[in-house]
A = this chain, B = another copy of it.
Amino acid sequence: MKTITVDLAAIGAAAKAAARRLSFLSTDAKNLALLGIADGLMASTGAILAANARDCEGAKAAGLSPAMLDRLLLDEQRLNGIANDVRAITALPDPVGETIESRRLPNGMEVGRVRVPLGVIGSIYESRPNVTIDIAALCIKSGNAAILRGGKESLHSNLALTAVVQRACGDAGLPDATVQYISDPDRALVGELLQLRGTIDLLIPRGGADLIRFVADNAAMPVVTGGIGVCHTYVDASADLEMACSVVYNAKVRRHTICNALDTLLVHRDVAPALLPRVAAALGGARVELRADPAALAILTAPGGAPEGTVAVPATPEDWGKEFLDLVAAVKVVDSLAEAMAHIDQYGSGHSEAIITEDYSAAERFLREVDAAAVYVNASTQFTDGGQFGLGAEVGISTQKMHARGPMGLRELTSYKWVVRGAGHIRPG
Contact = CB atoms under 8 A, between A and B. Distances in A.
Interface of A: 20, 23-24, 103, 105, 109, 111, 116, 118-119, 201-202, 222, 240, 243, 246-247, 249-250, 254, 345, 363, 367-369, 371-380, 382-384, 388-390, 401-403, 405-407, 415-427, 429
Given A20-B371, A119-B401, A402-B201, A378 B424 contact: yes
A-B pairs, 7 with minimum CB distance: A379-B422, A250-B426, A401-B415, A243-B424, A379-B425, A374-B418, A403-B403
23 contacts: A23-B369, A24-B368, A109-B379, A111-B383, A201-B401, A247-B422, A247-B426, A249-B426, A373-B417, A374-B419, A375-B419, A375-B420, A376-B420, A379-B420, A379-B424, A380-B425, A380-B427, A382-B426, A383-B425, A389-B418, A405-B416, A405-B417, A407-B418
A118 B240 contact: no
Contacts of A103: 390
Contacts of A418: 373-375, 384, 389, 405-407
A243 B423 CA distance: 8
A24 B103 CA distance: 31
A275 to B, nearest CB: 14
Contacts of A372: 417
A402 B401 contact: no
A240 to B, nearest CB: 7
Contact of A250 (B377, B388, B427): B427
Contacts of A247: 422, 424-426
Contacts of A23: 369, 371
Contacts of A118: 401-402
Contacts of A371: 20, 23, 116, 417
Contacts of A415: 401-402, 405
A417 B374 contact: yes
A233 to B, nearest CB: 12
Interface centre among A111, A389, A424 (most CB of B within 10 A): A424
B374 A240 contact: no
B402 A369 contact: no
Contacts of A249: 426
Given A201-B401, A401-B118, A375 B424 contact: no
A57 to B, nearest CB: 33
B427 A383 contact: yes
A142 to B, nearest CB: 12
Contact of A222 (B24, B222, B426, B429): B222
A425 B378 contact: yes
